[in-house]
A and B are shown apart, each in its own frame.
Chain A
Amino acid sequence: GAGVSQSPRYKVAKRGQDVALRCDPISGHVSLFWYQQALGQGPEFLTYFQNEAQLDKSGLPSDRFFAERPEGSVSTLKIQRTQQEDSAVYLCASSQRDGPNQPQHFGDGTRLSIL
């Protein structure tokens, strides 16, 4: 597709359930980022992939969060044993090349609500 695609757009889960969020980056983009945006806040970095390699996962809030990008394209963010504090919008972004000057292209996000 032309842009970054995320699915589902909305996810409601009960506390304790596992969830999986999908990101389809722009074709050919090397870099892929996940961010978490709490209500009324700016996005916060979770993790970064260069192709299939996860080079930085310093922003993942706990070991319940896991991300993968096995073939260097589609990525999945998995949250195990969800908690209410996991409720947020999860944004995926990709950029064509590596480098701090590269603009990131964002998807519309997945809004996760934990009941």
Chain B
Amino acid sequence: AQSVTQLGSHVSVSEGALVLLRCNYSSSVPPYLFWYVQYPNQGLQLLLKYTSAATLVKGINGFEAEFKKSETSFHLTKPSAHMSDAAEYFCAVSGDAGGTSYGKLTFGQGTILTVHP
């Protein structure tokens, strides 16, 4: 079965510092990977997705993620944190081991990012 592990339920950084949110996945098939952001009392907004075209994926709001097959990782980074980045971030893998043709998502537990002035 597909699974996602996000290391660190809470990450705290200073404004202007590097943001690194960790995600490791388990998949028996080539994965499609996504990062979503959730602001309080809102739904999830897509930040970026990996679909095998390129290992370094650029997303919205200055975020990017690198797919590393050897490490089964898809960590999210941003060079300089902004106060508006404070939110909860979810890594997700699509599909399942049965090779479904649709995009059923399996999410990690989430990482709450706090940005200090």
Contacts and interface: CB of A to CB of B under 8 A. Distances in A.
Interface of A: 4, 6, 31, 33, 35, 40-45, 48, 50, 55-56, 91, 93, 95, 98-109, 111
A49 to B, nearest CB: 10
Contacts, number: 76
Contact of A43 (B45, B90, B94): B90
B70 interface: no
A32 to B, nearest CB: 10
A48 B106 CA distance: 13
B18 interface: no
Interface residues of B, number: 27
Given A42-B90, A100-B95, A106 B45 contact: yes
A100 B117 CA distance: 39
A35 B90 CA distance: 14
Nearest to A4: B43
A100 B109 contact: no
A100 B42 contact: no
